Amino acid sequence: MIDCMFPLAAIERISRKAGARRISPKAIKELETIVEEIGLEIALEAAQAARYAKRKTILKEDIKLVAEKV
């Protein structure tokens, strides 16, 4: 398990934008964990894509490319 970096209020806002009227604190924490795991996976694969392209910088296009696969 990774340390959580997102504020819980931001995760709650995402849930509310998705249409949730109420969301339990445990559900917010679980969604935060999942969002972070997916974000880490995307970042790792984007870093690989940048290295493959012989770049040190991850570009917006790298993120989009990887996110389409996830």
Domain ranges of the chain: 8-69
Q: What was the pLDDT predicted at 1?
A: 46
Q: Which has the closest alpha carbon to 3: 38, 42, 32, 45? A: 32
pLDDT digits (tens, 9 = 90+) for 37-52: 999 999 999 999 999 9
Q: Looking at the predicted structure, is the pLDDT value of residue 4 above 80?
A: no
Specify whether the CB–CB gap between 46 and 66 falls below 8 A: yes
Q: Which CATH number fits domain 8-69: 2.40.50.140, 1.10.20.10, 2.60.120.260, 3.40.1280.10?
A: 1.10.20.10
pLDDT value, residue 3: 63
Rounded CA gap, 8 and 11, in Å? 5
Q: What mean pLDDT is reported for the chain?
A: 91
